[in-house]
Amino acid sequence: MTSITPAREHFTIEINGLSKIYQIFDRNIDRLKEVFHPFGKKYHEEFFALRDISINIPKGKCVGIIGLNGSGKSTLLQCIAGVLTPSRGSVQVHGKIAALLELGAGFNPEFTGLENVRFQCAIMGLTDSATEELLPKISEFADIGEFIHHPVKTYSSGMYVRLAFSVAINVDPDILIVDEALAVGDIRFQAKCLSKIREFRSRGKTLLFVSHDAAAVKSLCDKAYLLDKGQVIDEGEPTKVFNAYNSLIAERDRQVKTLRQTLDQLAIRSGNQRVYIENIHLLNHESIPTETFVSGEQLKLKISLKAKEPTSRVSVGFLIRDRLGQDIFGTNTDLLGKLIDFTAASLEQTVEFMVPLNLGENVYTVTVAAHSGDSHLESNYDWLNDAAVFRVIHAPGVKFAGCTALQVSVHLPSP
């Protein structure tokens, strides 16, 4: 069961042995037969949406929850928020919680936006005077204009999210739960929400964040958990966990994975190997192998591939990450308008990317992949995380702050 208690010194959320079990009946009549069977015969099968999960989340931390669809992410958050009752185990929440779980969840479609705001604030325990004081701030952040006086059933999905997020963040909870809701709406509002979340974090609040957006999770979260079939199968630093997530995507098609060690991190290679990456070379502008480049210098990334059988419309790509695992830049041949066909007469191919390294001084890794379409989510042939490492140093006499060398000029008008 979920319980809310005064804050403890260490953990804001304590989950111990949590399981959520649903009874699945083939036919509705089987429910009655089970209830009235004289010997207690079972006519149902048990489905574990969550199985024996134990997680402790410290105060002031941001935790990402990732996994394939149906892995149990939303069910876990609903148990934490008190929307669902656990079948086994316990959830203890220490502090006031606000949850943005589903699109428009908790909103009455017949009520106006303003009426729904007042209702949600009342549920959160705010007094009428405190609610009235918050209304201008909530309305301003949601920025839906006169629609706040219209019934919610007339809202677009983006307007739902704007109002729901505005309520959740402005009631000043101790814990904020966001479940994929920010994937809806325009990019400008998403950026506005992420900025607000960072401000929320800076005040020592706790955040649970579910998203398939690797960049957002890596940027916001201190730690990530990977769920699969209702169980936690990996946890730790977000980049490492997303590497495992990519491998999990590959395994959907009975793909294979191998492990190797790179930069003292677990690097994961995954894919069905129908097309596989044989060699990777980092070369400078003179085609000399090197692992050190001057900022602005051109990198030649040479990738050699082989196919086990004729395969058409193959895309090859790369992703550059900094030493913190943050995605800096990535592209592939599909996005660049060039797809590769492996024929019976030619099962080998070399791809060369010419990359101007307009980057700041840092250590970077290169992840490479071969897949169909513009993303490995469609069909992953070979994916190798952190396959190569290189360093960028500043050119003599040229320095700047940050990770990107933008071309800037300065003009001082005459007085």
Count of domains forming the chain: 2
- Average pLDDT of the chain to the nearest whole number: 83
* 213 and 281 fall within a common domain: no
- CA 168/CA 77 separation, integer angstroms: 15
For residues 310 and 344, is the Cβ–Cβ distance under 8 A?
yes
Confidence class of residue 259 from pLDDT cuts 50, 70 and 90?
very low
Confidence class of residue 376 from pLDDT cuts 50, 70 and 90?
low
- CA 65/CA 230 separation, integer angstroms: 12
Q: In the chain, what is the greatest distance between 2 CA atoms, to the nearest angstrom?
A: 99
Enclosing domain of residue 379? 256-393
- CA 243/CA 270 separation, integer angstroms: 9
The answer to whether the Cα torsion of 269, 270, 272, 276 is positive or negative is: negative
Listed range (25-29, 159-163, 410-414) with the worst mean pLDDT: 25-29
Record the tokens describing residue 124, joined without a space.
Answer: 């959160």
* 201 and 56 fall within a common domain: yes
DSSP 259-299: EEEETTEEEEEEE--SEEEEEEEEE-TTS-B-SEEETTPEE
- Among 177, 147, 173, which residue's Cα sits nearest to residue 162? 147
Which residue type, as a one-letter code, is found at position 105? A
Total residue length of the chain: 415
How does pLDDT run across 4-59, given as a tens digit for each residue? 544 445 789 999 999 999 888 778 887 787 777 777 777 778 889 999 999 999 98
How does pLDDT run across 349-373, given as a tens digit for each residue? 999 999 999 998 888 999 999 998 7
Listed range (70-79, 138-147, 372-381) with the worst mean pLDDT: 372-381
251 within some domain: no
Burial group, residue 105, by CB count within 10 angstroms (0-12, 13-18, 19+): middle
* 333 and 385 fall within a common domain: yes
Task: Assign residue 181 the CATH number of its domain.
Answer: 3.40.50.300
**β-strand pairing of 2-4 with 88-93:** parallel
143 within some domain: yes
* 216 and 269 fall within a common domain: no
**Domain limit, last residue, from 207, 236, 265:** 236
* 112 and 211 fall within a common domain: yes
Record the tokens describing residue 95, joined without a space.
Answer: 């502090």
β-bridge mates for residue 20, sequence order: 50
Task: Assign residue 278 the CATH number of its domain.
Answer: 2.70.50.60
Measured in whole angstroms, the distance separating CA 254 from the mean position of its chain's CA atoms is 23
Q: What is the pLDDT of residue 1?
A: 47
- CA 190/CA 85 separation, integer angstroms: 31
* 114 and 187 fall within a common domain: yes
For residues 102 and 164, is the Cβ–Cβ distance under 8 A?
no
* 232 and 261 fall within a common domain: no
pLDDT at 377 over 60: no
Q: Which residue has the higher pLDDT, 182 or 8?
A: 182
Confidence class of residue 188 from pLDDT cuts 50, 70 and 90?
confident
Q: What percent of the chain has pLDDT over 90?
A: 34
* 181 and 286 fall within a common domain: no
* 167 and 87 fall within a common domain: yes
Q: Which residue has the higher pLDDT, 7 or 75?
A: 75
Cβ density class 302-332: b for 16+ within 10 Å, e for less: bbebbbeeebeebbbbbbbbbeebebbeeeb
pLDDT at 311 over 80: yes
Confidence class of residue 268 from pLDDT cuts 50, 70 and 90?
low
* 261 and 153 fall within a common domain: no
pLDDT at 309 over 60: yes
**Rounded average pLDDT over 76-89:** 91
- CA 293/CA 283 separation, integer angstroms: 9
398 within some domain: no
339 within some domain: yes
Q: Which residue has the higher pLDDT, 263 or 392?
A: 392
- CA 299/CA 188 separation, integer angstroms: 33
**Which residues, including other chains, have CB under 8 Å from residue 4's CB and lie 6 or more apart?**
82, 92, 93, 94, 95, 97
Which residue type, as a one-letter code, is found at position 265? Q
Measured in whole angstroms, the distance separating CA 260 from the mean position of its chain's CA atoms is 24
* 99 and 210 fall within a common domain: yes
Confidence class of residue 181 from pLDDT cuts 50, 70 and 90?
low
β-bridge mates for residue 276, sequence order: 306
* 231 and 260 fall within a common domain: no
Record the tokens describing residue 335, joined without a space.
Answer: 């996005």
